[in-house]
Structure 1
Amino acid sequence: MRPVARAHPFRALAAPNFRLFFAGQGLSMIGTWLQQVALSWLVYRLTGSALLLGLTSFAGNIAILALGPLAGVLTDRVDKRRAVLWLQAAMTLQAATLAALTALDLIAVWHILALAACLGVLSAFDLPLRQALMVNLVEDRALLGNGIALNSLLVNSARVIGPALAGLLLALAGEAWCFALNAASFIAVIFALLAMRWTVPPPAPKGHGWWASWREGAAYAFGYAPIRVSLMLLAGLAFCIAPYTTLMPVFAKDVFGGGPHTLGSLLSAAGAGALTGTLYLASRGSTRHLDLVIARAALASALGLLLFALCPWYALALPLLFVTGGGVIVAAAATNTIVQTVVDDDKRGRVMSYYTMAFVGMAPVGSLVAGALAKAIGASWALAINALLCAGVALWFRAQLPQLRQAIRPAYERLGVIRRK
């Protein structure tokens, strides 16, 4: 195997629109993590229930799974930038409502579940829209892979900063300040989108109805082996690995005997691993051999989670979460790069909605199951079982690589990723 050439890791920032997006999204992602950590801490403080932690995550993300097909068809038919603007404004209102109810000491569990569900509905449309927008932000398709890696780098930088800042704010000021700062952070994205100037191709002509459009997208995504198998791997990772963030308050408080600061440190360790992994992806000059990177990263995340689940020592838990967080995000971001590289532009929105459904939409199902398992047999054993399942999924994906490489070769040859034989 020839070594993959290294390239400048920040080359996509040469695109003006991507620079604007990068700046606005960076602040917003920190706010998102402030709210996510504060919400899980608030639920566990009010109820002490691992099951309700899982239920909150389920309520906040299940709409992504349920509405994904509709969101994908819509994404291919609308002005993406305008749609994202309206969705960001609605998310601002959701976070501000959560902050007000908490600050006034009126918050109840049903409020949390309802507002989490509301955010989930908005995210079901926002996530595939922003994923499909990426090709317009970088302008030059040769920069698309680097743009995706830098976007993942941004998200995971926020995973380091956000939880650590949330732990500090929770200890000093309480949950309401985290929610309020998240509401303010959406303004950065709104200003960035308004400042962008570009010529974007009009939405594809409707031609046929929503149901026919959905069937066309589904046939394309699941009929093409590289996309189908990649989505199956992502769904397995999301179901098995994602619940560790949902159950982290249990480990912070009950296993390691800590408080909000411990919770923030544990999540930041996973974020640091993810940040390191995305820096590696950003430095790659090609999508060649990314499939093998995905298989190895998925297996590493499974092994890291298994050892973390059985680890009673806080100091050792941090590097284990570093491996877990790094592995799962490298696998997800590399899969995103491959899918966005080979997908047809007129089906990009629908295919990316399936990506969102697999990676984000399956997480609440896994969290709900893991929460129920944690209540029955304990959080440690619940995560250990999930880790073993994930290892099986990673080994299955590795076994598919010879067939996947043969199927994807024509697309890679057409795009110049590899030379024609």
Structure 2
Amino acid sequence: MRPGVVSPQSDVRHTPGDAPPPHSTFGSLRIRNYRLFFTGQVISNIGTWMQRIAQDWLVLTLTGSAAAVGITTALQFLPMLVFGLYGGVLVDRLPKRPLLVFTQSAMGATGLALGVLTLTGEVQVWHVYATAFVLGLVTVVDNPARQTFVSEMVGPDQLSNAVSLNSANFQSARLVGPAVAGVLIGAVGSGYAFVFNGLSFVAPIAALLLMRTSELRQVERTPRGRGQLREGLRYVAGRPELLWPIVLVGFIGTFGFNFAIWLTAFTHTVFHSGAQTYGLLNALLAAGSLAGALLAARRGTSRLRMLVAAALVFGLLEIVAALTPSFWLFALVLIPIGMFGLTVNVTANSSIQMATDPAMRGRVMALFMMVFTGGTPIGAPLVGWITDTYGPRVGFAAGGAVSALAAVVIGLILTRIAGLRLRELRASAIWREVVNPEPAHHDSVPSNVAAAATERARSRTPVAA
């Protein structure tokens, strides 16, 4: 058995009564450990969204600059860009549950620190910058750990469902958090939103401590050794069904997901409104994202053609939103933008996880998160500068144009250059072959869909000199 591959014995941890229906929208919630995890994350995610709204609005209040909001966002995601792959190596080596207890505690502490500074009237913009950077450092480990821990709570048949429900969880909190934050900021200021976020991390920490470790699927941890980071990069580079989706979400994450910049700028500059309007726009974006997450949870598979199509529509809708003349039309277009943006995220996330060997999953998901969120330090200041210089409409349209163009180009690469047939490349089939490879053929011929696709790509694509 390969290191890190879940054995058939360890993969059967639940009684028949615990096994969820394969296509139930909320099937993963029948598993006790995942239900605890999900509940804790609901509370924590509400606090996280409250802090995001309060942080952006505080920076805009202190500086009056959309570029400063972009710098704050960039600092929060810069550690992921620089150290993201090292975080994945650590996640593959360390037990994930105690690791998450540590990271969630540290994230709660950053919220409380910023809350105290704000409530005492001592906060300055560099405090927000510093807090954002520290939070980013913790996220380097926390993000891939949370992403990959899901597979230890649920089985392969429920992984796609659980990933989608995690996104639905996050987007549900996005409906509540901005609305509460908008009211709270208008009534008593940003400080209490930061304090609530810090205290909200008590819920996921308690959930992690209450889990039954005997019901977690056992995945062999990768032993310490040299060259593990390069090994992860080579692993992705040799698999087009992993490489090109990661490249696509990198472009979209860098240029298409700068909503903190665009929505603050539209609220402040175009619509001449306040924090309540900003919270409303975020809530509408979240409503669309929630719908996209629930639709993804209902689907049993994650297909690359869905990823490419959703990315194209997402970019085109951003261009449409940038050109809308009225507030309410702009607000309504945010709903489908949220839906297709979330579809891109969930489809890429679940298809990549299911196509990856468990021993490599931490490093692969760290790379996925690194390019998806780590590109923000590059994109956010650039988009912020374009928004400040040429106006919010031009900034929003530029982000949408880059996203749409990336979808077209990578869609052509997947279908013509890499030789992948999008109708055949179903992530659930790839997962089954990775977890249970046929021993008679494993070492002799590529038996899974991913390997077959790679072989087709190599045979059809000339090797560059």
Q: Deviations over 1:22-68 (max 9, x none)?
A: 10001101100000000000011111011111111111111111111
Q: Quick one: which of 353, 356, 373 aligns to 2:386?
A: 373
Residue 142 of structure 1: which of 152, 157, 179 is its match? 157
Q: 2:432 aligns with which of 410, 415, 421?
A: 415
Q: What letter is aligned with 1:165?
A: V
Q: Counterpart in 2 of 1:156?
A: 171
CA contact (8 A) 1:94 1:115 kept: yes
Aligned to 1:11: 27
Shift of 1:409: 6.8
1:382 paired to 2:395: yes
C-alpha distance in structure 1 between counterparts of 2:59 and 2:385, whole Å = 16
* Deviation of the 1:413 alpha carbon: 6.1
**What TM-score results when the alignment is normalised by the length of structure 2?**
0.85
Secondary structure of 1:179's match? helix
Secondary structure, in 3 states, of the residue corresponding to 2:223?
coil
CA contact (8 A) 2:28 2:162 kept: yes
Distance 1:376-1:137 versus aligned 2 partners, 3 A rule:
same
Higher RCO (CA-CA < 8 Å; seq separation 6+): 1
1:400, CA displacement in angstroms?
Answer: 3.4
Which residue in 2 is equivalent to 1:306?
319
Partner AA of 1:308 in structure 2: A
Question: Which residue identity lines up with residue 381 of structure 1 in the other structure?
Answer: V
Q: CA deviation at 1:245?
A: 2.4
Give 1:264's match in structure 2, choosing from 269, 279, 282: 279
1:133 correspondence with 2:149 = yes
Aligned AA for 1:350? R
56, 72, 95: which is aligned to 1:79? 95
Q: Secondary structure at the match of 2:421?
A: helix
The equivalent of 1:93 in structure 2 is: 109
Query: How far off its partner does 1:161 sit?
Result: 1.3
Is the contact between residue 104 and residue 204 of structure 2 (CA under 8 Å) also seen in structure 1? yes
Answer yes or no: is the 8 Å Cα contact 1:17–1:197 preserved in 2: yes
Structure 2 partner of 1:325: 338
Structure 1 distance, partners of 2:182, 2:346, is 27
Deviations 1:163-199 (A, max 9, x none): 1111111111210011011011100000000001124
Q: Is 1:348–2:357 an aligned residue pair? A: no
> Which residue number corresponds to residue 225 of structure 2?
208
Asked if residue 104 in structure 1 is aligned to residue 120 in structure 2, the reply is yes
> Partner letter of residue 379 of structure 1?
P
Q: Which residue of 2 aligns with 1:283?
A: 298
Q: Match for residue 400 of structure 1?
A: 413
Question: Which letter maps to 2:176?
Answer: I
Distance in 1, matches of 2:360 and 2:97, equals 17
Q: Distance in 1 between matches of 2:183 and 2:431?
A: 51
Choose the corresponding residue for 2:71, options 55, 58, 61: 55
Q: 1:207 to 1:92 in 2, by over 3 A?
A: closer
Instruction: Kindly indicate whether the alpha-carbon contact (under 8 Å) linking 1:6 and 1:283 is maintained by their aligned counterparts in 2.
Output: no
Q: Specify the code of the residue in structure 2 equivalent to 1:141.
A: P
Distance 1:17 1:370 in 2: 41
- CA separation in 2, counterparts of 1:189 and 1:146? 20
Q: Is the 1:234–1:332 Cα contact (8 Å) retained in structure 2?
A: yes
Q: State the AA in 1 paired with 2:144.
A: P
Distance 1:33 1:332 in 2: 18
Moved more, 17-26 or 165-174: 165-174
Higher Rg of the two aligned structures: 2
What is the aligned-residue RMSD (CA, Å)? 2.2
User: For the structure 1 residues 244 and 19, does the alpha-carbon distance in structure 2 shift closer, same or farther, using more than 3 Å as the test?
Assistant: same
Residues 256 and 402, structure 2, Cα contact 8 Å, conserved in 1 = no
Q: Do 2:246 and 2:368's aligned partners in 1 also have CA atoms closer than 8 Å?
A: yes
Displacement, 1:300? 1.7
Gaps of 5+ in 2: 1-20, 435-447, 453-465
Give 2:309's match in structure 1, choosing from 292, 296, 303: 296
4+ residue segments displaced more than 6 Å: none
Aligned residue number for residue 41 of structure 1: 57
In structure 1, the residue corresponding to 2:272 is in which secondary structure?
A: coil
> By how many angstroms is 1:411 displaced?
8.1
Partner of 1:172: 187
The DSSP-based 3-state class of the residue aligned with 1:134 is helix
Q: How many residues align?
A: 412
Q: Is the 8 A contact 2:221 2:359 kept in 1?
A: yes
Asked whether the 8 Å contact 2:22–2:157 carries over to 1, the reply is: no
Q: Where does residue 4 of structure 2 map in the other structure?
A: none
Going from structure 1 to structure 2, the CA distance change for 1:413 and 1:92 (only over 3 Å counts) comes to closer
Letter paired with 2:392: A
Task: Say if 2:232 is the partner of 1:217.
Answer: yes
Q: Per-residue CA shift, 1:382-416, capped at 9, x if unaligned?
A: 22112111110111232234323379579826727
Per-residue deviation, 1:257: 1.6
The structure that is helix-richer by fraction is 1
Q: How has the CA–CA distance of structure 1 residues 414 and 242 changed in structure 2, closer, same or farther, with 3 Å as cutoff?
A: closer
Specify whether residues 69 and 316 from structure 1 end up closer, same or farther in structure 2 by C-alpha distance, changes over 3 A only: same
Q: Is the 8 A contact 1:274 1:327 kept in 2?
A: yes
Task: Give 1:327 deviation, angstroms.
Answer: 1.1
Amino acid at match of 1:197: R
- Report the Cα distance in structure 2 between the residues aligned to 1:145 and 1:409, rounded to whole angstroms: 12
Contact preservation (8 Å) 1:300, 1:323? no
**Percent of counterpart pairs with the same letter?**
32
**Any conservation in 1 of the 2:95–2:221 contact (CA below 8 Å)?**
no
Query: Is residue 2:288 matched to residue 1:273?
Result: yes
Q: How far has the Cα of 1:208 moved from its partner?
A: 2.1
* 1:253 is the counterpart of 2:268: yes
